Structure 1
């Protein structure tokens, strides 16, 4: 099973459990939420926000987990809109090599 299939299964189960429809708006807004959390973790790990009693290791771990959240949500958004990620990366970035 591909990563996006596994993520979709988990996300769908979450939507059912909480009781909301995962439409295009939700996927984009959820990504925005996750980017906000990633930004907060980044500010903490780089010493530009209060550490709230967390060690450097805990801050680094939180940053890595928030990165995973944002990345997975981005993949779910791409899946929802049927975006072929490798093809679009090739078109937008790698075509300039």
Structure 2
């Protein structure tokens, strides 16, 4: 499943980079993780009353939190793909998931 998502995010990211003149060198992939985590943290702080909301409602901030989480997730997948990380295998090993378990 992860490999399908990696390919979709890669296509979208490559198209964005080409359209905007962005060079996606090896450092770019890790720096984008930091950037996206910062944006997610900023929204989180606003939701928790630690930042100015600039007139944004709770619902708007929750949507922004979802959007920033999606951005971070996408950039994790891009980083993994760029660095040859097999996330499926790593998740099974690190989180001790077993594919034969039925989660109903």
Greater percentage in helix: 1
Partner of 1:52: 54
Gap regions ≥5 residues in structure 1: none
1:15 deviation in Å?
1.2
Whole-angstrom distance in 2 between the partners of 1:58 and 1:93: 33
Say which of 27, 30, 44 aligns to 1:28.
30
Gap regions ≥5 residues in structure 2: 98-104
1:57-72 correspondence to structure 2 within 5 Å: 57-72=59-74
Where do 4+ consecutive residues of structure 1 move more than 3 Å? none
Aligned CA RMSD, in angstroms, stands at 1.5
Q: What CA deviation, in whole Å up to 9, does each residue of 1:22-70 have, x standing for no partner? A: 1220000011100000000110112211111011101111111011001
* Superposition TM-score, scaled by structure 1 size: 0.90
1:20 deviation in Å?
2.9
